[in-house]
Structure 1
Amino acid sequence: MQCSGISPRDTSSNITIRRTKPTHLTQSQEPLTLESIKHIIHDEMNAFINKIESNISKIIENKIKGLTKEITDLKESVLFITNQYEDLKKDMQVKFKDVKHLKEENDCLKSTVKDLNSRLSIMEQHSRMSNLEIQCIPEHRAENIPHIITQIGKITGTKISDAEIHKCTRIAKINPENARPRSIIVKFACPRVRDTFLAGVINFNKRNTNEKLNTSHIGIGGNKKPIFVVEHLTPELKKIHAHARATAKKLKYKFVWIKNGRVFLRKTDNSEHIVVRNIEQLKELQ
């Protein structure tokens, strides 16, 4: 009886079976110690840290370059603006000096104009020292103005000859729509004659408080209308007089009058009179 196992060499088979050779270690490996592991980790960490530091340095360097450029540009902008500001400041200082000079010159001119206007007004009023203005006498086509003036003189106790009346005429209205008759301007021979005539009218009105000078006294029929005789004022003085009357009414001043081309105010019988020289003065009254 033969065994069923395969013999190392079977004559009946063409397959050759080789035996496996035993494995042997050809290289020797050094064992890893704790110290060597530490060195490896330390080297890796250093390399990693160096790489991070290098990257961070590059980033910071780039950022610093950008910031440096921005700061340089900002400095240039600030320097430009500063130079512009200094130039503007110098220019403004020059302009301020010019404006100050012009203001002083303007104030001087205003003062000069005011002084010239005052002198002109005085001269103009002085040229009217012999004149009177008679207001509210009704107009008639065939009226005799010299006769009207002499009639007023007779009524008020002042005799006036034709020779003492140098000129008399009606003047145009300031406001053509005003219903009042045109005023009569009378130029007498001298200021003394004018003052005498005016004083006669004032005294007549004082004596006849209930029947002051009116149209009936000079022979004009119809309703009695008051006649006013005043100094012939310049337009500027008329304006001051009108404001003075309005101020007196508002502040309860008792007296407003005109004498020798000047406007006066008095609050009570015993108070001091005030010479009104301009409208601005009236605004300061209380």
Structure 2
Amino acid sequence: MNQKSQTTKRCGIDHIKLQNIKSNNRNNPKSISGSPRDDGSPCNITFRRSNPSPTTESNEILSLQNVRDLIQEAMDGLLDRIDRRITKIIEAKTKEIFKEINSVKESINYLNAQYEDMQKELHQKSKEIEKITNENGTLRAIVKDLGTRLSIIEQQSRMCNLEIQCIPEHKTENLTNVILQIGKVSGYELQEGDIHKCTRIAKMNPENKRPRSVVVKFSNPRVRDTFMANVMKFNKKNRDNKLNTSHIGIGGEKKSIYVVDHLTPETKKIHAKTREWAKKLQYKYVWVKNGRVFLRKTETSEHIMIRDLTQLESLS
């Protein structure tokens, strides 16, 4: 084969390679220049990469911008929806909070109204209590005064009475004869007409083993005072043998007999308490006269009349 045909054959082969290179360049375009032949000699055909057209580049640029715009639009829409959602949640929670605040305000207003009503009622009750307290103090003073007057009246109703203590009890006893005998022993001749009534009274303390006292009602206060004065004189004259059971004809062990004023229960309490305080505070004399209790610390000191138990607390 001559040189011309060989050259043509090589060019044909190069043409086929060129077609393959073009096909590959569509996917990976490159600038090709001076590809060597099989024998190492350069080929006279030079391949260059074709420049993209301005329209293609513009389309590619527009497509990227559109994507960016779409993404931005989607992001803006998403943010807008999130913002609206958060706004709705905040509005709903705010409404709930305001609703609760209004409920609390209503409760506070109700409690405030109740508190004001209670204050008014308390103020009114305080005035009523003060009024009742004043009335109570006045009534206490009135009751005390009435009690004192009643005690005086009750004591005056006993002006003709004497109480004789520690006379032994017997089923067949004759108390009138016992009183006549005491008068005879003391030097005062009584008549049966001088004694209106003679009876035993109940004990203030049922557990006390002493006999029940005898209350004698005389015809008038003069007889009563004379009888008592004679008994006191007899006891002063006979200090070693004061009035006792042997003087009224009762045998056995001698037991003292006491003739005292017939006191009201209240005066008896005062008398008993006064004796306790006198012993505690070393007061020497305690006595009863005309239904009143008296106290004296020494023979030369002034006497004190005890009207009620509260007076004893002020003593020193």
For the superposition of Structure 1 and Structure 2, which TM-score range results when normalised by the shorter chain?
Answer: 0.7 to 0.9
CA–CA distance in structure 1, aligned partners of residues 295 and 273 of structure 2: 11
Tell me the percent identity. 52
Alignment match, 1:9: 12
- Radius of gyration: which is bigger? 2
**Cα 1:71–1:204 shift into 2, 3 Å:** same
After TM superposition, the structure 1 stretch with the greater mean CA deviation from structure 2, 125-134 or 245-254, is 245-254
Runs of 4+ with deviation above 6 angstroms: 1-6, 11-15, 63-66
1:222-261 maps to which residues of 2 (within 5 A)?
A: 222-261=252-291
Higher helix share: 2
TM-aligned CA deviation for residue 121 of structure 1: 1.4
Alignment match, 2:230: 200
Which residue identity does 2:268 align to in structure 1? K
Alignment match, 1:95: 125
CA–CA distance in structure 2, aligned partners of residues 8 and 252 of structure 1: 163
Q: TM-score, normalised by structure 2?
A: 0.72
> Which digits, 9 at most, give the CA deviation of each residue in 1:118-145, with x for residues without a partner?
2221111111000000111112233232
After TM superposition, the structure 1 stretch with the greater mean CA deviation from structure 2, 247-256 or 110-119, is 110-119
Alignment match, 2:309: 279
TM-aligned CA deviation for residue 25 of structure 1: 6.1
Q: TM-score, normalised by structure 1?
A: 0.79
For the residue of structure 2 that corresponds to 1:141, the secondary structure is coil
**208, 218, 228: which one aligns with 1:188:** 218
Residue 195 of structure 2 is aligned to residue 165 of structure 1: yes
**Cα 1:13–1:226 shift into 2, 3 Å:** closer
Which residue identity does 1:82 align to in structure 2? N
For the residue of structure 2 that corresponds to 1:8, the secondary structure is helix
CA–CA distance in structure 1, aligned partners of residues 283 and 249 of structure 2: 36
CA-based RMSD of the aligned residues comes to 3.5
Which residue identity does 1:187 align to in structure 2? K
**Cα 1:73–1:229 shift into 2, 3 Å:** same
> Which digits, 9 at most, give the CA deviation of each residue in 1:38-76, with x for residues without a partner?
xxxxxxxxx9xxx9xx89x969x7587666555444433
**Cα 1:245–1:4 shift into 2, 3 Å:** farther
CA–CA distance in structure 2, aligned partners of residues 274 and 17 of structure 1: 154
Which residue identity does 1:144 align to in structure 2? N
Which residue identity does 2:224 align to in structure 1? R
TM-aligned CA deviation for residue 4 of structure 1: 10
After TM superposition, the structure 1 stretch with the greater mean CA deviation from structure 2, 63-72 or 186-195, is 63-72
CA–CA distance in structure 2, aligned partners of residues 86 and 214 of structure 1: 77
Runs of 5+ consecutive residues of structure 2 not aligned to the other structure: 23-46, 59-75
Alignment match, 1:140: 170
After TM superposition, the structure 1 stretch with the greater mean CA deviation from structure 2, 86-95 or 15-24, is 15-24
CA–CA distance in structure 2, aligned partners of residues 8 and 92 of structure 1: 127
CA–CA distance in structure 2, aligned partners of residues 108 and 183 of structure 1: 39
CA–CA distance in structure 2, aligned partners of residues 121 and 257 of structure 1: 18
Which residue identity does 2:223 align to in structure 1? V
CA–CA distance in structure 1, aligned partners of residues 229 and 108 of structure 2: 83
CA–CA distance in structure 1, aligned partners of residues 17 and 200 of structure 2: 170
CA–CA distance in structure 2, aligned partners of residues 11 and 176 of structure 1: 157
Alignment match, 2:49: 22
For the residue of structure 1 that corresponds to 2:12, the secondary structure is coil
**80, 94, 110: which one aligns with 2:110:** 80
Alignment match, 1:37: none
For the residue of structure 1 that corresponds to 2:11, the secondary structure is coil
**206, 209, 231: which one aligns with 2:239:** 209
TM-aligned CA deviation for residue 222 of structure 1: 0.9
Runs of 5+ consecutive residues of structure 1 not aligned to the other structure: 30-46
